[in-house]
Homo-oligomer: A and B are copies of this chain.
Amino acid sequence: MNIDDAKRLDAADPLRSLRDLFTLPDGVTYLDGNSLGALPRATPERIRRAVEQEWGRDLIKSWNTAGWIDLPRRLGDRLAPWLGARPGEVLVADSTSINLYKVLHAALQLQQGKRRVVVSERSNFPTDNYIAQSVARAHGGELVLAERPEDIPPLLDERCAVLMLTHVNYRSGRMHDMGLLTRWAHQAGALAVWDLCHSAGAVPIDLLGAAADFAIGCGYKYLNGGPGAPAFVWMHPRHEGQVWQPLTGWMGHANPFDFDSDYQPAPGIQQYQCGTPAVLAATGLDTALDVFDAAQKLGGMKALRNKSLALTEAFIDSVEARVPGAVIATPRDAAMRGSQVSFSLPRGTDGYAVMQALIARGFIGDFRAGDPELLRFGFAPLYNGFADVVRAVDTLADIVATRSWDAPEFTSRSKVT
């Protein structure tokens, strides 16, 4: 694909208008929406209103008049259809790590001490495995890690309480078959907890169709809620009223404003709220969901997924064709691919420095050290296009071919990569 092909595809893209709903800096091609989503154009004004009018002018009244008190449920209802869930089943609150803690405790309680092992993958995002270690130990169990996806099924044995997986792997971009793995987990007597951090807003998700047990995920990646936007949590309705999650804050109480002495959990997903909603942070996510409403009118997740797969496929093809020695870590099989592409460069090419050189030329992706060292590029179908793909690979190929990455300003490491 050359730039003329790409421009033709962009011009014909039925989702093209969505890009105008974002503010992206001039001269920047942003391919890191899998880490921090871009700024929706409407967000600054909406947050300004929340700050100046809801907080500054209406003050404490806004708990009622601006609906602050309902934000966790209202945002959950807006998000539900993008997760394959129903309104009333999703809550927006706290962080991914904290929500994972809640649902893992709940899942282990559901196993009533008969099973205590949490199974996951070593390649899972670290916070998931750290939280799972903590929760499994609290229940007298342990976290057992599969080295490769194909090592998961043998671990689904009579000790396995919970299969906890990230739907789309943050490094490789590989996507699990949620329906199949959930079925296998259930057949083995385990429950399935899904981390949707790299899925929500980017790939089709059908939690109810998969009959998954719990899910959590991030509000600031493909959902574009802003840095540190609250995360989400979902529980299958069949588990309602069975267990308590341990973060028993007043906002998860059945009657928070009765100020009872004893905790009594609210029915359903409301129990998974703990403290007061982070209003300003949630407001960013609320505005970002307007963009998804617009996307719904243009074909919804089906259209987003088609575009995402076309973008990532074009990127894989171009990198393989243009960058000698690049090894793609992301599956070519569309059914196994999220909305990002990761690859390593040949020994002797400093992936970190290549990414810094790319950034210096206006192309922002992400670099992760490890084995193999991976460059990662996220393609957000809401705002990325085919010209982004072509220009990024052109620039990457040039940087590698000319070794222009091999300069002190690119090779010296900063704190966060």
Point out the residues of chain B lying under 8 angstroms from A263, CB to CB.
Answer: 129-130, 133-134
Chain A, range 223-253, C-beta contacts under 8 Å to B: 226-231, 244, 246-251, 253
A303–B98 Cα distance when bound, in Å, is 39
Chain A, range 33-65, C-beta contacts under 8 Å to B: 35-36, 38-39, 43-44, 47-48, 51-52, 54-64
Whether B275 lies near A96 (C-beta < 8 A) is yes
Chain A, range 364-417, C-beta contacts under 8 Å to B: 364, 366, 368-370, 414-417
Point out the residues of chain B lying under 8 angstroms from A366, CB to CB.
Answer: 60
A94 within 8 A of B: yes
Point out the residues of chain B lying under 8 angstroms from A253, CB to CB.
Answer: 126, 130
User: Which among A4-12, A159-167, A278-286, A319-327 touches the partner chain?
Assistant: A278-286
Give the residue name and chain of the B residue nearest to A57 (CB): B25
Q: Report the minimum CB–CB distance from A21 to chain B (whole Å).
A: 13
User: Which among A186-194, A202-210, A254-262 touches the partner chain?
Assistant: A254-262
A56–B280 Cα distance when bound, in Å, is 16
Point out the residues of chain B lying under 8 angstroms from A96, CB to CB.
Answer: 275-276
A281–B253 Cα distance when bound, in Å, is 24
Whether A249 lies near B95 (C-beta < 8 A) is yes
The 0/1 profile, CB within 8 Å of B marked 1, for residues 84-101 of chain A is: 000000000011111001
Point out the residues of chain B lying under 8 angstroms from A127, CB to CB.
Answer: 249-251, 275
Whether B126 lies near A259 (C-beta < 8 A) is yes
Give the residue name and chain of the B residue nearest to A137 (CB): B246
Whether B249 lies near A98 (C-beta < 8 A) is yes
Whether B98 lies near A98 (C-beta < 8 A) is yes
Copies in the complex: 2
Point out the residues of chain B lying under 8 angstroms from A118, CB to CB.
Answer: none
Q: Which of B58, B61, B101, B280 contacts A228 (CB 8 A)?
A: B280
Give the residue name and chain of the B residue nearest to A284 (CB): B280
Whether B246 lies near A416 (C-beta < 8 A) is no
A314 within 8 A of B: no
Whether A23 lies near B56 (C-beta < 8 A) is yes
Point out the residues of chain B lying under 8 angstroms from A131, CB to CB.
Answer: 247-249
Q: Which of B52, B246, B276, B368 contacts A134 (CB 8 A)?
A: B246
Whether A133 lies near B248 (C-beta < 8 A) is yes
A357–B52 Cα distance when bound, in Å, is 25
A68 within 8 A of B: yes
A146 within 8 A of B: no
Contacts A32-B60, A279-B227; A417 near B47 (Cβ below 8 A): no
Point out the residues of chain B lying under 8 angstroms from A282, CB to CB.
Answer: 228
Q: Report the minimum CB–CB distance from A172 to chain B (whole Å).
A: 14
Whether B228 lies near A279 (C-beta < 8 A) is yes
A359–B65 Cα distance when bound, in Å, is 14
Cβ-closest 5 pairs across A and B: A95-B275, A97-B249, A39-B56, A228-B278, A227-B279
A-B contact pairs, 24 of them (CB 8 A): A25-B56, A25-B57, A38-B56, A39-B56, A47-B47, A54-B227, A59-B364, A60-B364, A63-B416, A64-B416, A97-B249, A97-B251, A125-B250, A127-B249, A127-B250, A127-B275, A129-B263, A145-B261, A226-B279, A228-B278, A230-B278, A231-B275, A257-B417, A281-B281
Residues of A within 8 A of B (CB): 23, 25, 28, 30, 32, 35-36, 38-39, 43-44, 47-48, 51-52, 54-64, 68-69, 94-98, 101, 122, 125-127, 129-131, 133-135, 138, 145, 220, 226-231, 244, 246-251, 253, 256-257, 259-263, 274-282, 284, 359, 364, 366, 368-370, 414-417
